[in-house]
Amino acid sequence: MATFREVCQGGPVLLLDAAASQVQAGLIHPSGEAGWSTPPGEPGVAVFQALEELGANLSKVRGWIFCEGPGSILGIRTVAMALRSWTLLHPAPVHRYLSLAVLAHALGKPAAGIIADARRETWHHQRAGEPLRRLPTRDLQPPLYLPATFRTWSKLPAGVQVTPYDWTQMLPRVWDADLLRPAAAPDAFLPEDPSYVAWTPRIHQAPAASA
């Protein structure tokens, strides 16, 4: 794993986060200073608007950092697809991070559980320094925090608190945290390996005629 400081030393580095309802993009310099853009709209448009607002020259970018999840799968995969294309034209190292791990570290409350909706009354759950887990609502223990701009479909657990997911605030707090991993092929993370059900093909037959 690597820190943001280490990855940005060869800067500038572009950070793209589409896990929330609004894309966040940052052009980060080795000093830790960064320019930020959060354009509205769907990710396929907002990502390009953000780069334009930042005045980012892709040929001069020395690295990429992106959120692999949890969060909006559409947004995350849109960013991953763009990165696979851009790095073919302008090769540069790509690093990935988990949204909940970053927020857990930035929040600075070791006992806090950061959650994101995983559908079907289950939640992605993470505490600082612990692995990401997927838990049913009944197994969640307070204190719980939900990123303010993350979409939810399930009923919120009792006592959950909403907290900002804002990179302008989080970057200084996680600058020296070991939260980044290399990403040879950018994509959305899978919380668990896919499972498949065996299927035996049968020839379709018309129902037997009644007597």
Give pLDDT tens digits for 42-88: 999 999 999 999 999 999 999 999 999 999 999 999 999 999 999 99
When the pLDDT of each residue in the chain is averaged and rounded to a whole number, the result is 92
Query: Does residue 27 belong to any structural domain of this protein?
Result: yes
Q: In sequence order, which residues have a C-beta less than 8 Å from that of residue 165 and are 6 or more positions away?
A: 19, 20, 99, 103, 147, 148, 149, 150
Which has more pLDDT, 36 or 192? 36
In this prediction, residues 126-133 reach a mean pLDDT of 95
Q: Which CATH number covers residue 127? A: 3.30.420.40
Model-level pTM?
A: 0.89
Query: Does residue 84 belong to any structural domain of this protein?
Result: yes
**In terms of Cα–Cα distance, which of 101, 35, 33, 91 is closest to 67?**
101
What's the pLDDT score for residue 202? 63
Could you tell me the CA-to-CA distances from 180 to 41, 56, 95, 101, 196 in Å, in that order? 27, 22, 6, 10, 31
**In terms of Cα–Cα distance, which of 17, 23, 204, 209 is closest to 95?**
17
Give pLDDT tens digits for 156-178: 999 999 999 999 999 999 999 99
Residue 33 structural domain = 4-182
Query: Does residue 197 belong to any structural domain of this protein?
Result: no
pLDDT band at 195 (very low <50, low <70, confident <90, very high): very low
Alpha-carbon distance 142 to 132, whole Å? 16
Query: Does residue 160 belong to any structural domain of this protein?
Result: yes
In this prediction, residues 89-100 reach a mean pLDDT of 96
**In terms of Cα–Cα distance, which of 91, 93, 157 is closest to 124?**
157
**In terms of Cα–Cα distance, which of 168, 177, 173, 169 is closest to 27?**
168
Alpha-carbon distance 192 to 127, whole Å? 18
What's the pLDDT score for residue 48? 95
Domain total of the chain: 1
What's the pLDDT score for residue 11? 85
Residue 194 has pLDDT above 50, yes or no: no
Using alpha carbons only, how large is the chain's radius of gyration in Å? 20
Query: Does residue 176 belong to any structural domain of this protein?
Result: yes
Query: Does residue 109 belong to any structural domain of this protein?
Result: yes
What φ, ψ does residue 93 adopt, rounded to 5°? -60, 145
**Least confident segment among 89-93, 145-149, 188-192:** 188-192
Query: Does residue 157 belong to any structural domain of this protein?
Result: yes
Query: Does residue 191 belong to any structural domain of this protein?
Result: no
pLDDT band at 109 (very low <50, low <70, confident <90, very high): very high
